[in-house]
């Protein structure tokens, strides 16, 4: 990973992992809000709206509620934030210098992607707020629901390409054999499963069960204000960009063609459409959905991949 020197690595963290991803993520958030507004027959916010939100939150007071666990309350937002920065750094490095990616970074990315959800659980439990605690428990349930299916879908790719577990390696394989998505039925199934899991991972409707603003006020975010809330917003925005790019890296060759921007836009619009035409699932409905049809589908995918389809 340090083939290009430690300086380069930090350059990547700061420039690609952080700055670029923040800007792209906030713009994606704007696309989300604008398209939702157009679907509801409204004009919608101007393009700088998410930036204004974050800047405003940065300038506000950050309150630590009385009786909350100060350390976990303050660490939680930064936990998710650092994890997303690292994920996007690794994904960008693999895309720009496939040689710089190390064996097993796929697994590192999967583990790091747990952290934003865990940060929410910590935040909700630490804030000494009943809504926060309920949101945390729901987030935990949701995580148990979708993670298994998502994991099997990612490993379908690994089985299919013969056991390559580095992102650079997967990109190299796709450069020779064509996009993973075109390798057979198993990969198409795996891609569909990741598309189904993505709204749950990103915490947006129909799976915004943890922060359901009509029932739980804001769930784990309820007690957060000012800078800490801004960090959470940034984490969400960056994840909205990083997660689809990670999936595209796995399934659709590489990030650096105009096609990829189109692919990313398609995935984003798909997520937004699903968000706007569906009501929120109850937590038990979400569990049933992910544990029966979706997990079944992803198991089918991995079995098909094992027999070579």
The footprint of another protein (CB under 8 A) covers: 33, 37, 40-46, 48-49, 52-63, 213, 217-218, 221-226, 229
**Least distance CB 221 / another protein (angstroms):** 8
CA distances, 69 to each of 74, 128, 203, 261 (Å): 9, 8, 24, 42
Please report the sign of the dihedral spanned by the C-alpha atoms of residue 49, residue 268, residue 113, residue 136: positive
DSSP string, 202-248: HT-TTS-TTT-HHHHTTGGGTT--HHHHHHHHHHHHHHHHHHHHHHH
State the residue for tokens 């784990």: 220
Closer CB to another protein, 189 or 218, in the complex = 218
**Least distance CB 206 / another protein (angstroms):** 19
Closer CB to another protein, 112 or 216, in the complex = 216
Whether 65 and 128 have beta carbons less than 8 Å apart is answered as yes
- Residue from 92, 130, 134 nearest 260 by CA: 92
**Least distance CB 219 / another protein (angstroms):** 10
Measured CA to CA, the distance from residue 83 to residue 112 in angstroms comes to 5
Closer CB to another protein, 37 or 303, in the complex = 37
Closer CB to another protein, 49 or 82, in the complex = 49
**Least distance CB 50 / another protein (angstroms):** 9
**Least distance CB 52 / another protein (angstroms):** 4
Closer CB to another protein, 139 or 147, in the complex = 139
């Amino acid at each position: 990973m340090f083939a290009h020197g430690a300086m380069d690595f930090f350059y990547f963290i700061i420039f690609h992992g952080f700055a670029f991803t923040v800007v792209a993520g906030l713009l994606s958030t704007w696309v989300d809000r604008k398209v939702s507004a157009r679907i509801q027959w409204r004009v919608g916010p101007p393009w700088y709206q998410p930036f204004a939100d974050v800047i405003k939150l940065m300038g506000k007071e950050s309150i630590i509620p009385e009786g909350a666990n100060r350390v976990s309350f303050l660490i939680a937002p930064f936990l998710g934030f650092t994890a997303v920065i690292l994920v996007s750094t690794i994904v960008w490095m693999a895309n720009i210098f496939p040689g710089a990616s190390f064996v097993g970074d796929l697994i590192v990315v999967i583990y790091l992607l747990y952290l934003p959800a865990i940060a929410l659980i910590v935040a909700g439990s630490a804030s000494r707020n009943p809504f926060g605690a309920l949101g945390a428990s729901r987030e935990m349930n949701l995580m148990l629901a979708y993670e298994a299916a998502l994991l099997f879908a990612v490993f379908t790719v690994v089985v299919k390409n013969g056991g390559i577990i580095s992102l650079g390696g997967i990109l190299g394989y796709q450069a020779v054999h064509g996009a993973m998505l075109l390798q057979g039925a198993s990969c198409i199934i795996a891609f569909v499963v990741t598309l189904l899991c993505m709204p749950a991972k990103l915490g947006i409707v129909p799976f915004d069960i943890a922060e359901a603003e009509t029932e739980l006020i804001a769930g784990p975010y309820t007690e957060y204000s000012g800078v800490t809330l801004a960090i959470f917003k940034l984490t969400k925005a960056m994840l909205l960009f990083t997660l689809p790019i990670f999936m595209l890296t796995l399934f659709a060759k590489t990030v650096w063609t105009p096609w990829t921007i189109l692919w990313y836009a398609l995935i984003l619009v798909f997520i937004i459409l699903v968000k706007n035409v569906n009501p929120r699932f109850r937590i038990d409905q979400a569990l049933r959905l992910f544990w029966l049809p979706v997990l079944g589908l992803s198991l089918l995918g991995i079995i098909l991949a094992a027999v070579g389809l």
